[in-house]
């Protein structure tokens, strides 16, 4: 098999395909997997905001951001695990993968361009290492098959396409913007290119406006399930 190399963005720069119309976003999520919808990601983001708001002036300076990320990861994985998605880690990086191992999702904090259809695409806020580079290289290979990549993966069950739930807490606007996007370029510990971006919206950090969420069903007792096929070993 031909060996594909990831091309740094400064050698080949291209903008992601951006979908921001709510109806089209919803349709695309259903194409990725029937369990995915905007409300599911919204619930996970609200859970993260609740975690952020539990910190106090006495908390460590970085506690709010850390607690938001931890709770967003936990809520997303709990919600999807209740639908038989697989909770697993690779080098302490938390993933959640569909039962057929076609798609996996990792939660990341993004920069100020996150959740916008602006001039520039976003990047991850925190530096990512070897694990991120590995799954992005896999994504880049699958991207060569364009929109047929998901179909190909379903038929062969040999590749897992990794998407990122990317969110940004805007302190000035006091809101979280978020998107589900496919990273395809990686350079100097940063995501430099995206194949596709699904803009999911924004949520103001006003606890009084949060709708009452039903308690998510408990995840299965055995949750650390490593996929036997696909990207993850």
66 belongs to a structural domain: no
Is 70 exceeded by the pLDDT of residue 157?
no
41 belongs to a structural domain: no
Query: Which of 52-66, 129-143, 184-198 shows the highest mean pLDDT?
Result: 52-66
Alpha-carbon gap, residue 24 to 215, rounded angstroms:
28
User: What pLDDT sits at residue 139?
Assistant: 59
What percentage of the chain carries pLDDT values higher than 90?
54
User: What pLDDT sits at residue 118?
Assistant: 86
Query: Which of 15-19, 37-41, 181-185 shows the highest mean pLDDT?
Result: 37-41
Residue 126: pLDDT band with limits 50, 70, 90 = confident
Domain span including residue 145: 82-209
Residues 6+ apart with CB under 8 A from 165: 41, 44, 72, 76, 105, 106, 107, 108, 178, 179, 180
Per-residue pLDDT of 70-121, as tens digits, reads 999 999 999 999 999 999 988 788 999 999 999 999 999 999 999 999 889 9
What average pLDDT does this structure show over 46-59?
95
233 belongs to a structural domain: no
64 belongs to a structural domain: no
Which of these, 196, 195, 197, 191, lies nearest to 8 by C-alpha position? 191
127 belongs to a structural domain: yes
Give how many domains the chain has, as a whole number: 1
Instruction: Flag the least confident range among 39-48, 102-111, 142-151.
Output: 142-151
120 belongs to a structural domain: yes
Integer angstrom CA distances of residue 210 from 50, 79, 92, 202, 203: 9, 18, 31, 13, 9
Q: Are 178 and 201 in contact (CB under 8 A)?
A: yes
User: What pLDDT sits at residue 166?
Assistant: 96
Per-residue pLDDT of 167-225, as tens digits, reads 999 999 999 999 999 998 888 778 889 999 999 999 999 877 665 444 444 444 344 44
What percentage of the chain carries pLDDT values higher than 70?
70
126 belongs to a structural domain: yes
139 belongs to a structural domain: yes
């Amino acid at each position: 098999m031909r060996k594909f190399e990831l091309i740094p963005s400064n050698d080949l720069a291209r903008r992601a395909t951006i979908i921001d119309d709510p109806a089209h976003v919803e349709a695309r999520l259903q194409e990725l997997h029937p369990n995915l919808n905007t409300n599911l990601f919204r619930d996970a983001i609200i859970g993260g905001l609740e975690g952020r708001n539990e910190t106090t002036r006495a908390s460590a300076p970085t506690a709010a951001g850390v607690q938001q990320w931890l709770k967003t990861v936990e809520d997303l994985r709990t919600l999807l695990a209740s639908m038989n998605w697989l909770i697993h880690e690779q080098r302490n990086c938390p993933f959640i993968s569909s039962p057929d191992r076609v798609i996996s999702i990792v939660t990341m904090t993004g920069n100020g361009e996150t959740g916008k259809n602006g001039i520039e695409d976003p990047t991850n806020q925190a530096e990512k290492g070897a694990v991120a580079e590995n799954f992005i290289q896999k994504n880049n290979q699958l991207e060569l098959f364009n929109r047929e990549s998901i179909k190909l993966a379903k038929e062969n069950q040999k590749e897992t396409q990794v998407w990122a739930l990317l969110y940004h807490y805007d302190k000035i606007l006091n809101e979280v913007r978020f998107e589900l996007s496919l990273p395809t370029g990686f350079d100097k510990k940063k995501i430099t290119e995206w194949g596709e971006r699904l803009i999911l919206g924004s949520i103001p950090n006003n606890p009084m406006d949060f709708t009452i969420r039903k308690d998510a069903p408990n995840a299965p007792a055995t949750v650390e399930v490593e996929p036997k096929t696909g990207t993850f070993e």
